[in-house]
Amino acid sequence: MTAERRLEGRVALITGAASGNGRAIALRYAAEGAAVVCADLVPNPIAGGWEDATTTHDLINEQGGRATFVECDVTDGAQVAAAVATATDTYGGLDISVANAGVSPLAYSIVDEPFEDYKQVQAVNQDGVWWTCRESARAMIEQGRGGRIVTLASIAGLTGVQTGYHYNMSKGAVVQITRTLAIELAPHSITVNAICPGYVRTSMTRNLWDDPAKFARLQATTPMPRLGEAEDIAGAAFFLASDDASWMTGVIMPVDGGFSAI
């Protein structure tokens, strides 16, 4: 794919940018001309994935783009605010914010799951999106030039996944945060849309790829003849940040090879 640099002059913040979907989105935005703030707990990709060991921000800079890493725990509002400030202080503003950071722990039955594990999933997947949207919205409203907020929900927020209720709940909350915030921020010309990835090849789903029986089930329930790549999610995130999506808001967009259609 040849980048057309349609995000030239814009500034993007991406949480969870070190690995997986967040990394692919950061690389796509940078290729399209955006300056990117890569926010994550650590700069290095998660072990066990398929990424090159080079950090996302280093890879962008090596390729001639502009990127900065900022350490950020999305469950800590002060750290999220600092990440937003890094964008505005380093690059002069914030035009695009992608609330991507999330966790997908082992699936439990509700009768077995420790409450602390349940709370951690909600803290990252739900509260982290709330903090990211809030601090980004504050900056965009203050700038007065509109903006784009993209959240990462999941097909698990649209359908039931057995014993995955803690993850499903958190992603269902992201869907509703997105819809409600879209209404609130529309008068400020800020769009808010969600991407719902299907089964995408990242470190988070590595166990599914490595288990032949699980992999076969995923293929059987996905109409398209292949499963997803992080670049598929990055393409949707680019579209939602582009001028082509300037009148789209409150949209919940599955990118799943047809999984949710059945």
pLDDT digits (tens, 9 = 90+) for 174-194: 999 999 999 999 999 999 999
CA 173 to CA 157: how far, in whole Å? 8
3-state helix, strand, coil in the chain (%, to 5): 50, 15, 35
Q: What is the pLDDT of residues 54-65, one digit of tens each?
A: 999 999 999 999
Would you say residue 50 has pLDDT above 90? no
Looking at the annotation, which residues are catalytic?
167
Task: Kindly indicate the confidence band of residue 1, based on its pLDDT and cuts at 50, 70 and 90.
Answer: very low
3-state secondary structure of 137: helix
Tokens 């969600």 map to which residue?
194
Please state the rounded mean pLDDT for residues 103-113: 78
Distance, C-alpha 17 to centroid of its chain: 8
List the chain domain ranges. 11-257
Listed range (3-7, 88-92, 174-178) with the worst mean pLDDT: 3-7
For residues 197 and 52, which has the higher predicted lDDT (pLDDT)? Answer: 197
pTM here is 0.95
Farthest CA pair distance, the chain:
52
The share of the chain scoring above pLDDT 90, in percent, equals 75
Question: One-letter amino acid identity for 72?
Answer: C
H/E segment holding residue 15: strand 11-15
Question: Is domain 11-257 in CATH 3.40.50.720, yes or no?
Answer: yes
Q: What is the pLDDT of residues 187-226, one digit of tens each?
A: 999 999 999 999 898 877 777 778 888 888 888 889 999 9
Please state the rounded mean pLDDT for residues 228-239: 97
